[in-house]
Structure 1
Amino acid sequence: MEQRFKGKTVIVTGSSSGIGVGIARRFAAEGADVVLAARRRDRLDALAAELGAYAVTTDVTREEDVRAMVRAAVDRFGRLDVLVSNAGAGLLKEFAETTIDDWRAAMATNVESCFFGAQAALPHLRNSHGNIVHIASASGLGGDRRMTAYNAAKGAVVNFTRGLAFDLGQDDVRVNTVAPALTLPDDAAPQYQGLIDKFNQRRAVKRYATPADVAAAVAFLASADARMITGAILPVDGGITAASGQPPLF
């Protein structure tokens, strides 16, 4: 695989499972010094051993944790080139049953984590002319039933990306977002077939994305191949967001 990130340091939050693991593996395969960040230390240590990466236990809803994560990365490798703010959490709940605590938790995990990460990373990204990639969701590009708080949170990430791209562009720091829809491991089809069938009613491409599919989009946006791309929202959803007038999923 092409070594586009040889000698570069990449932080991936939420890298103890799912999409985050796929992203970490992609950057490691392309030669990066990868910093894994999540709350589950046991999972981080296992992945760090697999990839030869560096693990930092981090709660991305805590500003002091995020700042410590960035300091640890720079202390270890001497620089920071890419921040992938992947950590997030879904919420499937009727709006009438959604509490203010549910709302605040959705905003803290999905939105405030991106804010904390960007502020902590910015001085180092200025030095390296690096970039930020946020992971939002197709849910942030449209509405759906029983997902009001999550839709609002991921929509905030989308517009945070657009605004931040203008604020940081003067420093040659790019900011982009990848917006996946249903993303499952390669072997997940039997367990999730009903859900896959629902999504396929709305997809142009009749298959679900894997973490490797999302990781490929992230690596492209983080690379010099995308040096003139900033403020972009790249759906990795098989065409769901290209459709209109579709029935709700849930």
Structure 2
Amino acid sequence: MTNSSNPPVAVVTGAARGIGLATTQLLLEDGWHVAMIDRDEPELMKVSNGLTGARPFVCDVSVPEDVDQMARQVLAWSGRIDALVNNAGVADFGPMADTDFKRWRTVMETNLDGVFLCSQALIPALKQTHGAIVNIASISGLRASTLRVAYGTSKAAVIHLTKQQAAELGEHNVRVNCVAPGPVRTKLAIAVHSPEIIAAYHDAIPLNRYGAEHEIAQAIVFLASPKASYITGQVLAADGGFESTGVGLPALRTKLDK
């Protein structure tokens, strides 16, 4: 797919763990070079060590000055940017009554402002390469749920921001798409989800299981690649069918006894 003498370059935010790290690893396997972006410097340095073709850059995507500096540093290293994966995000779940403005802003600063800032900083470079942006939202941005007033709203905003970006950048041959993961088997999810929660998710998902980080990464890398050259402004729910079934009761999806 790639020319080893002039490999494409991707910028992946939130690359120190989870979906961001899985995406980085898959891009490297496909011959890309990857700028790994994260604000957790110790973890970023640890996981990037030994990854040929990857370079870590410490950056808080919610801070405009950090993002501008990151953009300059990445371009000085790579000379080009072919894809931006806006994956960095924070999760904060709790009742609406307990979500004060500080908690609201903490979620919005990373989940929404970070996508906006990184995109704005790297759009000039992406125009030069006719590149792609892949924003990472969530199934919580497509369907409402309890305890997610800030998180779900931030991800719904990312979905609409994706469409705004696609509408404006299409004439520059820059594609913008969004992946909305459903429940994913991350270390954090397994640590905080009780057996009852896990069983309930399994019952509600047609594929009857959590997704894996590498499965979400496959969708991201596809949309970032030339294989998706005529796809823009789309939202791909990588969720095992969770969104498609709405609020239907699992018991009613089985054959009823006559």
Residue in structure 2 matching 1:206, options 192, 198, 208? 208
Residue in structure 1 matching 2:239, options 231, 237, 241? 237
Distance (Å, rounded) in 2 between the aligned partners of 1:4 and 1:189: 39
Superposition pairs of residues 83-98 of structure 1, within 5 angstroms: 83-98=84-99
Q: Does 1:17 align with 2:17?
A: yes
Please state how far the C-alpha of 1:47 moved relative to its aligned partner. 2.0
Please state how far the C-alpha of 1:210 moved relative to its aligned partner. 1.1
* Unaligned runs of at least 5 residues, structure 2: 250-258
| Equivalent residue, structure 1, for 2:76 | 75
Q: Deviations over 1:192-227 (max 9, x none)?
A: 543321211211101111110010000100011100
Q: Among all aligned residue pairs of Structure 1 and Structure 2, give the percentage whose two residues are the same amino acid.
A: 34
TM-score (norm 1): 0.93
Please state how far the C-alpha of 1:128 moved relative to its aligned partner. 0.4
Distance (Å, rounded) in 2 between the aligned partners of 1:125 and 1:158: 20
Q: Does 1:99 align with 2:96?
A: no
* Unaligned runs of at least 5 residues, structure 1: none
Distance (Å, rounded) in 1 between the aligned partners of 2:245 and 2:48: 39
Tell me if the contact between 1:183 and 1:209 (Cα under 8 Å) persists in the aligned partners.
yes
RMSD: 1.9
Letter in 1 for 2:112: V
Please state how far the C-alpha of 1:121 moved relative to its aligned partner. 0.4
Q: CA 1:64–1:89 in 2, change beyond 3 Å: closer, same or farther? A: same
Runs of 4+ in 1 over 6 A off after TM superposition: 188-191
Indicate the structure (1 or 2) with the bigger Cα radius of gyration: 2
Tell me if the contact between 1:182 and 1:237 (Cα under 8 Å) persists in the aligned partners.
yes
Distance (Å, rounded) in 2 between the aligned partners of 1:194 and 1:82: 39
Distance (Å, rounded) in 2 between the aligned partners of 1:68 and 1:246: 48
Please state how far the C-alpha of 1:172 moved relative to its aligned partner. 0.4
Tell me if the contact between 1:4 and 1:223 (Cα under 8 Å) persists in the aligned partners.
no
Letter in 2 for 1:204: P
Tell me if the contact between 1:3 and 1:29 (Cα under 8 Å) persists in the aligned partners.
no
Letter in 2 for 1:118: S
3-state SS, counterpart of residue 51 of structure 1 = coil
Q: CA 1:104–1:29 in 2, change beyond 3 Å: closer, same or farther? A: same
TM-score (norm 2): 0.90
3-state SS, counterpart of residue 50 of structure 1 = coil
3-state SS, counterpart of residue 35 of structure 2 = strand
Letter in 1 for 2:13: T
Tell me if the contact between 1:82 and 1:132 (Cα under 8 Å) persists in the aligned partners.
yes
